[in-house]
Amino acid sequence: MRARKPVVSLLAVAVAVLPLLVGCGAASTADPTSATATPAPSSVVAVPTGPTVTVPGLDETAAGTSSASSATRSTTVSSPAKTTATSSERATTVPPKSSTVDVTTTVTVPPPTPSTSKAAEPPATQHSTTSQPPSTTKAPVSTKQNSGGTMTRKVVVIDPGHNGQNNAHPEIITQQVPAGFGEMKDCNTTGTETRDGYTESLFNWKTALLLKEKLEAKGITVIMTRDSNDGVGPCVNERAAVGNDNNADAVVSIHGDGDLHESVHGFYVMTAERAPAGAAMAAESHRLATDIRDGLVGDGSTPSNSLGDNGLWQRSDLSGLNLSMRPTVMLEMGNMKSATDAGPMTSAAGQDKYAAGIAAGVVAFLVNGG
């Protein structure tokens, strides 16, 4: 059953002029990827000083350039980005593998380098993925194997929510993009932050890197939807396309919540209520959610004391879920406004613990047929 209608949604309206006050999933009508804080007020909105920022997922008109998406996908930048433009344009270059490779074939592709290997960002659809069947190609497999070798052909997409420069570019992230079921929503949002200013985008990014490392250690191929925390976007439709185009075995979107009620704490795992890819895929998403919930609980994390039902919550309004054709969950790891959660969410040890719990759940899901 659904949790109570959060009071925070009313508070969010009351304080809408302030940025970053309400987390992405707190409100029952909120979208973790599109309904967070109003873009920063004019006093803190940074005017882009560098080249035009291109954001994956924006169509040509929205991006203001005729080659935004293709340029983003084809540009490879190996050095740290100095501008939001370059960071958002950094693309991944790992070629796809054939889906026909026999499972017994010895693969000689070098294993990915933890934290630094760039994921393969596939050709993006500029339209709702509800009309696009899953791709028949996947990213290269890793040669790493666990004891049973069962993970070697699995592909997991990790989506660290938001991006570090989203708040400086409201003109970009408020562009409207396909959000599934014929709807349009903002390209992206800023995310929330702790009361001390530790941003959700950074938490998402760091936790995602730790999760990536743990999954790769199991031989799983990991693809990230962004490759830094100093860029803008990509848009929600582009993020969803990464999982769809790579025929991902599992998609995990990582977020942190921003409920203003100090007493609200704990994680919850969300799945799509409207089943964009049909009942069978929805059941897989639910299994993935349950396994991740159990993995987090098994590692000592606590389900939300306010939202969801024992850590699980079906939502009909989340773009990232409504656009996905693959087993997909969106996680709210904790309430960044709560001291109970802010501590672990901003510490390396806490982030590692979250990542370990998620990884345990993902592996359990994949071992059992994901």
Q: Site residues (CB under 5 A) for Zn ion?
A: 24, 32, 161, 191, 255
Cα–Cα nearest to 324, from 355, 281, 367: 281
φ, ψ dihedrals at 134, nearest 5°:
-55, 145
Cβ atoms within 10 Å, residue 275? 18
Cα–Cα nearest to 323, from 143, 102, 132: 132
Residue with tokens 């940025």: 19
Give catalytic residue positions.
332
Q: How far is the CB of 18 from Zn ion (least distance, A)?
A: 17
**Mode of pairing for the β-strands spanning 221-224 and 268-272:** unpaired
Largest distance between two CA atoms of the chain: 60
CA gyration radius for the chain? Answer: 19
Residue-by-residue DSSP string for 162-216? S-TTGGG-HHHHTSEEEEETTEEEES-----B-TT--BHHHHHHHHHHHHHHHHH
Q: CA 70 to CA 57: how far, in whole Å?
A: 10
Q: CA 64 to CA 139: how far, in whole Å?
A: 30
Per the structure block, which two tokens stand in for 192?
A: 């929330």
Q: How far is the CB of 24 from Zn ion (least distance, A)?
A: 3
- In the bound state, the residue with its beta carbon closest to Zn ion is 24
Name the helix (H) or strand (E) containing 334. strand 328-335
Q: How far is the CB of 245 from Zn ion (least distance, A)?
A: 23
Per the structure block, which two tokens stand in for 81?
A: 């980005």
**Mode of pairing for the β-strands spanning 268-272 and 183-186:** unpaired
Cα–Cα nearest to 126, from 37, 228, 240: 240
Q: Measuring CA to CA, how many Å separate 165 from each of 40, 81, 85, 301?
A: 11, 12, 10, 29
Q: Measuring CA to CA, how many Å separate 124 from each of 96, 155, 215, 290?
A: 14, 17, 24, 29
